[in-house]
Structure 1
Amino acid sequence: MKECVHSRSIDLKKACLKVLTTALLVLILSLTLQAVFVEGKYSVVSRYILYEDGTAMVTLFVSNIEGENVIYLPLEKGYNQYTLRVLQDSIPSPFNITSDGRLMIEVSGVTSVIVEYEASLGTLINDSIVEVNLNPFTQAVVVLPPNAALLYFSGKPQIDVESNGITNVILSYSEGGSYTIKFVPIPGGATVTSPSKPPTQQTTQAPAGGGMITFLVGGSAIAVAVALLLLFIFLRRRGEPIEPEMHVGLDERDLKLLKILERGEVSLAELAKESGLNKSVVWRRMKRLSDEGLVEQRYEKGKLVFKLTVKGIKKLKELK
C-alpha cells in the first residue's frame, strides 16, 4: 500500500484529544461575564476548542433573545455544514444558511440558543507548528489542545493556564476581530481525570499587539522545551521544500474506514467513534473517497450516512 506523503506529521497528530473536564468548562463560562450585543438585543459568546490538526469545535452561546423572531449568526469560513447543530432551549431545531454564510434561526418563544459546528481554521507549518486563524464576531474563548505549547498570538487576550496532570491554555478575547494563534501540539498519552481538588490556574494579561510566548507556567516547562526544540528544527529546515498536504493512493486510515463500511451504511459520527479519528478528519477523507467513486454518501432521516460503492468493494478486496 502506498504511504501518505505527509506521514511526517502523523506522530505530532497523535497527541491526546480528550474531552475537557467539567471544571474547565466552568472556567470557560466564568470568563464570559459581559454580554456582547449583535444585530439586536441578543448576546453571543463564542468558544473555540482547537485540535492538533488545526480544526476547531466552535460553540456559540446565544442569550437575551426574548422578543426576537429571527437571529443571524456569522459562521467561520472553514465551517463544515454537515457538523452543524442548533439547540433551542436544549431541543434540536432547524436552521437555514444564507448566501453570505450566516446562520438564520427562527427563535420565537425561545430563551436561549446553542450552535455547534466544526471548522477547519488552521494549517501545519513544516510538520511542527500549527497556525490557526479565527474571526469571532463577538468576545471569544479559545482552548488549545491539552499540553500544547503556545508560541504566538495576536490581539490582547487574557491568558489562563489550568494544570491538572495536563496543561490547558485558554485565551479569552474581550471583543470580536481577526486573530492568529500558533502552537505546537505535544505528543503524549495524557488523559483527563476527575480532579480531587480544584485545578491550579495562572492568569497572564497579554501585551498590546500580541506576542511570542516563551514561558507559561512551571507545569508547562517541558512543553515549552519541546516547542523550542521544534522551533530550532523548523529554522534549520526553512530552506527545505514543504511537503504537500495530500495523499498518494490510500493509506492505513483510509483502509480502516473502508473496512468499517463493509457491514453497510454507517454515519459520520459512528465512523469517527469506531476509527478513533477526529470527525472533521473523517469527513475530509470520506469526501475524497466519495470523489474517487469508492464511497457513496446520502442523507437518511436528516443524518449523513456512507456506504461502499461497487468500485469501493472491489478496491477493498484488492487491498486485503
Structure 2
Amino acid sequence: MYLINPEGFVDIRVVVTNVTNIYEVVIPIEEPIEEFTLFAYDQDSLPIPVEYNETHVIAYPLNTSRNVIIEATADIIEYVFENVSRLIIKPRLPSKVVLPPSCGLLSFNGSADVKALDSRIELTYSEPGTYAIEFICLTTYVTTSTPTGTTSSSAPTVQYITYVALVGMVALVAILVMRFRGRERIEVFIRGISRELDDRDIKILKSVKDKPRSISELSRVTGLSKSIVSRKVKKLEKFMLVKTKFIGNKLIVELTEEGVRVLNEVGKER
C-alpha cells in the first residue's frame, strides 16, 4: 500500500502472510526508500531483522512469525504546478494508493478501482505496472481546536460541517481543472516533452511503436549500446512515454498512449 501523507511523503506498507517455516522474505521495491525509515515486524508487533539493497527489501521472520509487515517512507512525490502533485509508482505486486485527506483525484493511468473512503480517495491496482497518479490538495487544513465560547460536545459538529465544505471545494476545483485546463495541459505537456527528446530517444520510441521489445532487441534495432538504451528507457519512462515490465528475466519496453501522441507531435515538428 502507498499511503500519501499531507507532508508530501509516501508511506509504503507491505503485508506478507503465511510465512511460517520461511526464513527469508524478499520483496521487490522499485521506489527508492529512506533506509532509516525501514521497519519490519510480525503479527504480534515483534521486530524482525530487515535489510535493503536498493531494489529489494529482505526480511528474516522469527520462528513464531505467521505474517510479516514491512513499512518504509519514500520521497517520490513530484509537484506539477500550484497545488497539483504527481505520484509515479512501479509496483511488482497488486497495490493500493491512498491520497491525502481532502484531496481530489485529477488523473491516473492503468485499470484501477477508485473509491472514496471518508476523507480519502483510494485507488486499487490488481496488476503490476508503472502508474502515474495526479491529484490536487488544499494548502490549508481544518484546526482541531475548540472555538472559544463553545462546549467540547458541539465542536465535532462544527468541524464536520467545515470539513465537508472543504472536501466539496477540493472536488469542485478538481472538476474545474480537469474541464478547463486538462486538454490544454496535455497539449502543452506533449509539445514540451517532444522538444526534450533527441534522435536516440525518437529511435527507441519508433522501435517499440509496432511491438514491445527487450533492451537487447532495442540495442540491435537502433544500433545503440545496451547501456545507452537502458539510460534512455529510464528517461522515457519518467516522461511516461514508455512503460516497462519483466517477462521472465527480460525487461520489456512498451509504448504508451502518451508516447504515441509525442511521436505524432515529433512528426509535425521534424
Structure 1 length-normalised TM? 0.46
Deviations 1:271-318 (A, max 9, x none): xxxxxxxxxxxxxxxxxxxxxxxxxxxxxxxxxxxxxxxxxxxxxxxx
Deviation, structure 1 residue 75: 2.4
For 1:51, the aligned partner's letter is N
Residue of structure 1 equivalent to 2:129 = 177
For CA contacts below 8 A with separation 6 or more, give which structure has more relative contact order.
Answer: 1
Structure 2 CA distance for aligned equivalents of residues 186 and 105 of structure 1: 38
CA gap of 1:188–1:128, structure 2 versus 1, over 3 A, is closer
Which of the residues 215, 220, 226 maps onto 2:173? 226
For 1:140, the aligned partner's letter is S
Q: Tell me, yes or no, if the aligned pair for 1:64 and 1:112 is still in contact at 8 Å.
A: yes
Task: Check if 1:107 corresponds to 2:54.
Answer: no
Once the two structures are aligned, what percentage of the paired residues are identical? Answer: 25
Structure 1 CA distance for aligned equivalents of residues 127 and 75 of structure 2: 22
Structure 1 CA distance for aligned equivalents of residues 88 and 32 of structure 2: 10
For 1:78, the aligned partner's letter is P
CA gap of 1:76–1:55, structure 2 versus 1, over 3 A, is farther
CA gap of 1:121–1:59, structure 2 versus 1, over 3 A, is same
Looking at secondary structure, tell me which structure has more helix per residue.
2
Residue of structure 2 equivalent to 1:186 = 138
Deviations 1:196-220 (A, max 9, x none): 9xxxxxxxxxxxxxxxxxxxxx995
Deviation, structure 1 residue 107: 1.9
CA gap of 1:120–1:147, structure 2 versus 1, over 3 A, is same
Deviations 1:161-195 (A, max 9, x none): 123xxx21111111222111000012332368xx9
- The structure with the largest alpha-carbon Rg is 2
Give the 5 Å matches for 1:1-320: 47-52=1-6, 54-88=8-42, 89-98=44-53, 101-109=55-63, 110-163=65-118, 167-190=119-142, 220-228=167-175
Structure 2 CA distance for aligned equivalents of residues 144 and 170 of structure 1: 6
Deviation, structure 1 residue 54: 4.1
Residue of structure 1 equivalent to 2:227 = none
Deviation, structure 1 residue 230: 5.4
Structure 2 CA distance for aligned equivalents of residues 104 and 137 of structure 1: 15
Q: Which runs of 5+ in 1 are unaligned?
A: 1-46, 197-217, 240-320
For 2:59, the aligned partner's letter is I
Deviation, structure 1 residue 222: 2.2
Q: Tell me, yes or no, if the aligned pair for 1:142 and 1:171 is still in contact at 8 Å.
A: yes
For 2:73, the aligned partner's letter is E
Structure 2 CA distance for aligned equivalents of residues 73 and 96 of structure 1: 11
For 1:57, the aligned partner's letter is D
Structure 1 CA distance for aligned equivalents of residues 166 and 8 of structure 2: 24
Report the number of matched residues: 169
Residue of structure 2 equivalent to 1:273 = none
Structure 1 CA distance for aligned equivalents of residues 60 and 6 of structure 2: 35
CA RMSD of aligned residues (A): 3.3
CA gap of 1:90–1:229, structure 2 versus 1, over 3 A, is same
